[in-house]
Structure 1
Amino acid sequence: MMPVILSLDTVELTDEQFWRLCQQNRDWQLERSAKGELIVNPPVGGTSGNKEAGLISLLWLWNQQTRLGKVFSSSTIFKLPGGGDRSPDAAWIKLERWQALSEEEQEKFPPICPDFVIELRSRTDQLKPLEEKMQEYINSGLLLGWLINPQDKQVEIYRPNQAVEVVNFPIDLSGEEVLPGFILKLPL
């Protein structure tokens, strides 16, 4: 099943209305692109769900040891400073940046770009929309992002002010300065 993308060119959907729309439709994974498109994402299958859970678990375990930030699942929508309301498959934010948000901002869709994200391409995902989503994160202040593409056995690594680096499996990905000491061995 492919995502459904609805153009909202002539419809003004406020942040509060988008929040309420998501609350009323909890069974749907909704996002808004920086272009204002409403994206309805289908659920993932067992293989992708298992890999996503593994990624979040590994990131969470690293963070439990370092206590440097907060880890978020694919159910979290971030209101990006560069536009769009996006939900990465796994995300991490430095603790001091998270604590700078008010309690209300933390409860709703946090108005912050994660410092680190992972997007995992599922079997039905088209690559170009995921690459555009990664660019939205970079435009919003992302420090490091991995677009993991099991179909092509590659990872696209996103960093600010740098060309996208493409590496092939097998690879040990480093969290670099953003996630010191975090290593992800691919394939999962």
Structure 2
Amino acid sequence: MAAYVLNMPPVARLSDEQFYQICQANRDLRLELTVDGELIIMPPTGGETGKINSDLIADLVVWNRQAKLGIVFDSSTGFKLPNGAKRSPDAAWIPVAKWNNLTTDEKQKFLPLCPDFVIELRSSTDNLVTLQNKMQEYIANGAVLGWLINPQDKQIEIYRLGKEVELLNSPQSISGESILSGFVLNLEPIWS
């Protein structure tokens, strides 16, 4: 099932608090708000996508527990990007210093920052162009590294701050580069 987009403006423009309250009242829904005020309602993922995403998060968490460099977030975490959009990447990471600079109240709600690292995992119903635009939005708002993982085509698009998108076909693994020093994601289970 594809995501639904509710075109709110000019009927209503949700404040940060209103959007937060809508999300709290509808915890079973995955909601995002674009910079243009469109409310995106995303259905739950299927089993295959959920399994892959869980494995991605687990690998990232295990590396992070050993490296102790930052904080890992799952797909239920909301981020308020500098452009005003509210997004929830499938996986995200920020350095520990960014986390420590947030107030207690900021940690309880949508985090008022863009993650340094993001992963978006394309499910069979996701529109590729929509995800590519979302990845560009993360980079434009301060993400340093992002991976768009596309199991259907066995491809990964790597997004880096200040660089062209790199497309890899059927790579066996991918490195977290200097931002996630020592992190290498094995992709073989995703392609099989």
- Determine if contact 2:145/2:179 at 8 Å carries over to the other structure: yes
Q: What per-residue deviation string (whole Å, max 9, x for no partner) do you get for residues 142-174 of structure 1?
A: 010000001111000000111110001133211
Structure 2: runs of 5 or more not aligned: none
* Number of residue pairs matched by the alignment: 188
Q: Secondary structure at the match of 2:112?
A: coil
Q: Secondary structure at the match of 2:178?
A: coil
Structure-1 residue corresponding to 2:49: 48
Counterparts of 1:158 and 1:90, CA distance in 2: 15
Normalized against structure 2, the TM-score is what? 0.96
Structure 1: runs of 5 or more not aligned: none
Structure-1 residue corresponding to 2:9: 9
Task: State the shift of 1:135 in Å.
Answer: 1.0
Q: Secondary structure at the match of 2:24?
A: helix
Counterparts of 1:105 and 1:64, CA distance in 2: 23
Structure-1 residue corresponding to 2:95: 94
Counterparts of 2:168 and 2:30, CA distance in 1: 29
Counterparts of 2:85 and 2:54, CA distance in 1: 24
1:83 is aligned to 2:84:
yes
- Determine if contact 2:33/2:85 at 8 Å carries over to the other structure: yes
Structure-1 residue corresponding to 2:162: 161
What is the percent sequence identity of the aligned residues?
55
1:26 is aligned to 2:27:
yes
1:74 is aligned to 2:83:
no
Which segments of structure 1 move beyond 4 Å, counting only runs of 4 or more?
none
Q: What per-residue deviation string (whole Å, max 9, x for no partner) do you get for residues 36-82 of structure 1?
A: 21100010011000000000000000000011000000000100112
**Structure 2 letter corresponding to 1:185:** N
**Structure 1 letter corresponding to 2:74:** S
Which stretch has the larger CA shift, 28-37 or 46-55? 28-37
Structure-1 residue corresponding to 2:108: 107
Q: Secondary structure at the match of 1:20?
A: helix
Structure-1 residue corresponding to 2:37: 36
- Determine if contact 2:5/2:41 at 8 Å carries over to the other structure: yes
**Structure 2 letter corresponding to 1:165:** E
- Determine if contact 2:13/2:37 at 8 Å carries over to the other structure: no
- Determine if contact 1:34/1:136 at 8 Å carries over to the other structure: no
1:150 is aligned to 2:141:
no
Task: State the shift of 1:9 in Å.
Answer: 1.8
Counterparts of 1:78 and 1:86, CA distance in 2: 5
Counterparts of 1:176 and 1:82, CA distance in 2: 26
**RMSD of Structure 2 on Structure 1 (CA):** 0.8
